[in-house]
Amino acid sequence: MTRTALARPPKAARPRPVEEPSGADVTRAGLDQSRLIHLVGYAATRASVELKKSFQMHLGPLELKAVEFSILVLVASNERVNQKQLGESLEVSAPNMAITLDRMVERGWVERVRSTEDRRAQLIHLTPAGRQLVQRAEKIAATMENEATSVLSEGERLLLIELLLKVARGKAPRRG
């Protein structure tokens, strides 16, 4: 083999140009991102960075992390919820969920209560401080993404949520 053949991959191995999504900005910080912007994961991660900044700006002053906010809302919405259900719903490992709930108990937001139906089970309940916090946080959350999503119409925003949740749910059933 010649030196040139070793230095360049064969034509079939080279990435083919991908049509850029409409309105795509292929440069950021002066770098060409054209070989990344066709990837859903890359686009979702870039959007996630902006939404996390928004979350931190609006809910950060309440000293709430995103997972804690989600737990508070789920506990407020589900009267009989346990640690395992929360972990499965949010895809947080059992040890990490235990640590997070311990921290939330220490802060006075939630409490573990023995189930009256199954004494082995512990349910997660909001404390009065937790109820007050989740109400305040949900009011803020109702508008906190407005700036980050202002480039979308309301229909596009709803479609984006629908599509992301569809991807999050996982694989479609196999056909034929």
Rounded Cα distance between 74 and 94, Å, is 17
Domain 65-144, CATH: 1.10.10.10
Rounded Cα distance between 26 and 44, Å, is 15
Model confidence at 47, pLDDT cuts 50, 70, 90, reads very high
22, 36 Cβ separation under 8 angstroms: no
**pLDDT digits 0-9 by tens, 97-140:** 999 999 999 999 999 999 888 888 889 999 999 999 999 999 99
Q: List the single range of 12-26, 33-47, 69-83, 92-106 with lowest mean pLDDT.
A: 12-26
Q: Which residues contact 19 (CB under 8 A, 6 or more apart)?
A: 38
Can you tell me whether residue 61 is helix, strand or coil?
helix
Map out the domains of the chain as residue ranges.
65-144
Q: List the single range of 105-114, 145-154, 164-173 with lowest mean pLDDT.
A: 164-173
106, 120 Cβ separation under 8 angstroms: no
Q: Of 93, 116, 73, which is closest to residue 83 (Cα–Cα)?
A: 93
pLDDT at 95 over 60: yes
**The total number of residues written for the chain in this structure:** 176
Q: Of 126, 125, 130, 103, which is closest to residue 114 (Cα–Cα)?
A: 125
